[in-house]
Amino acid sequence: MSADTRLRRPEPGLAPSERRAATGPRPTSARTRVRRGLGLAPIAWAAIGLYLIFLIYPILRSIMTSFTDRNPLQLESSFVGFDNYTEMFNDPNLHRSLVFTLVVVVFVTVISNAFGILFAILLNKTTTNFRIMRTLVFIPQVLSGVIVAFIWRSILTQDGLLNSSLAGMGLIDSPISWIGTPELATMSICIVVSWVTIAFTTVVYTASLQAVPAELYEAARMDGANAFKRFHHVTFPMIAPGMTICVVLCMITTFKLYDIIAVLTGGGPAGSTESAAFYLVNVAFTSNRFGYSSAISILLLVMTALVAYGVTAILRRREAQL
């Protein structure tokens, strides 16, 4: 018998509960561990099965369909090799939708993270009023994209709230068509999507700020650091993991943007606000070209994965340097 075992032996005359507390938790036997593993195994296999059915299988089917000329109005389809992929190089509508998508991705990612940090700093208080304000800021994130688009459509139309307010203040003489010209429609889409994603980034950055130890700020003040230096040397490095999450999720969300565009502009005017996802759906269900739309979906999947992986790797390396 070892010395440790002798030390854990309970004193005689103790109650059963006191004897268990004195001896500590019983070691888990190999049989118990195996029984627990077998109990969790069905849940794990069920999760893997759902993952294969609802994610892996559709991706594989899309890859197979992208090599065909499948049309839902025809019974049979033919193998066309890489024709759908080579057609993408000569499709100006696809190129225009990709450029628009990249513009929205860059704008939304930068604006959402900048304002998310600003709002998080302003709302990083523990009083009830600030908790209520944080809840109000998060509301756009829980709304459906369709509802958000309807709200902003009522604001941005020529006889909407924005033009009425500007005319009432004497700033404009005639209504502005906020979603009637390519430039203003693109700007309107960027602002509306940013309005939604700022709600998400504000919550993430607020949680990151509340995890920063107060002793770090106190030490920085004792060293004579002003507010800017405290933000640069304390706040900014400590919220780096939250920034990685916000940047990557904003980019992924914007790459697959569809519902807000469908309701707010319908891809117009003249297709200038068609995102890649919106163009993909049009090709599939308006032109009935499932094969070509599958090729576009694979391209979009690869682009999103590469950008997300590359940005994550860069930001992770930055976290390690900080």
Q: Sorting pLDDT into bands at 50, 70 and 90, what band is 260?
A: very high
Res. 14: pLDDT tops 90? no
Does 209 reside within a domain?
yes
Task: Compute the average pLDDT of residues 238-267.
Answer: 89
> What is residue 107's predicted lDDT score, i.e. its pLDDT?
94
Task: Compute the average pLDDT of residues 154-164.
Answer: 88
Does 179 reside within a domain?
yes
Angle made by CA atoms 142, 301, 205, in degrees to the nearest 5 = 40
The token pair that represents 230 in the structure block: 């405290």
Task: Compute the average pLDDT of residues 69-84.
Answer: 86
Res. 32: pLDDT tops 90? no
Res. 140: pLDDT tops 70? yes
Q: Which domain holds residue 258?
A: 100-320
* 33 compared with 24, residue with greater pLDDT: 33
Which range in 31-35, 99-103, 213-217, 269-273 is most confidently predicted, on average pLDDT? Answer: 99-103
Q: Render pLDDT for 179-211 as a digit per residue (tens, 0 to 9).
A: 888 899 999 999 999 999 999 999 999 988 888
Res. 102: pLDDT tops 90? yes
Does 66 reside within a domain?
no
> What is residue 1's predicted lDDT score, i.e. its pLDDT?
44
Give the CATH number for residue 124.
1.10.3720.10
The rounded mean pLDDT for the chain is 85
d(CA 76, CA 166) in angstroms, rounded, equals: 57
Q: How many CA atoms lie within 13 A of 3 on its CB side?
A: 0
Give percent of the chain above pLDDT 70: 87
DSSP 174-196: S---TTTSHHHHHHHHHHHHHHH
Cis peptide before 12 (omega within 30 of 0): no
Q: Sorting pLDDT into bands at 50, 70 and 90, what band is 81?
A: confident
Does 126 reside within a domain?
yes
Does 239 reside within a domain?
yes
Question: Amino acid identity of 29?
Answer: S
d(CA 50, CA 32) in angstroms, rounded, equals: 28
> What is residue 320's predicted lDDT score, i.e. its pLDDT?
65
Per-residue 3-state assignment (H helix, E strand, C coil) for 57-72: HHHHHHHHHCCECCCC
Res. 16: pLDDT tops 70? no
* 51 compared with 129, residue with greater pLDDT: 51
d(CA 23, CA 157) in angstroms, rounded, equals: 74
Q: Sorting pLDDT into bands at 50, 70 and 90, what band is 30?
A: low
Q: Sorting pLDDT into bands at 50, 70 and 90, what band is 3?
A: very low
* 108 compared with 5, residue with greater pLDDT: 108
Total number of domains constituting the chain:
1
Q: Cite the beta strand spans of the chain per DSSP E.
A: none
The token pair that represents 318 in the structure block: 């930055």
Does 199 reside within a domain?
yes
Question: Amino acid identity of 147?
Answer: I
d(CA 309, CA 209) in angstroms, rounded, equals: 25
Does 60 reside within a domain?
no
Does 284 reside within a domain?
yes
> What is residue 198's predicted lDDT score, i.e. its pLDDT?
92
DSSP 80-131: -TTHHHHHHTT-HHHHHHHHHHHHHHHHHHHHHHHHHHHHHHHT---SHHHH
The token pair that represents 240 in the structure block: 């780096």
d(CA 180, CA 33) in angstroms, rounded, equals: 65
Res. 127: pLDDT tops 50? yes
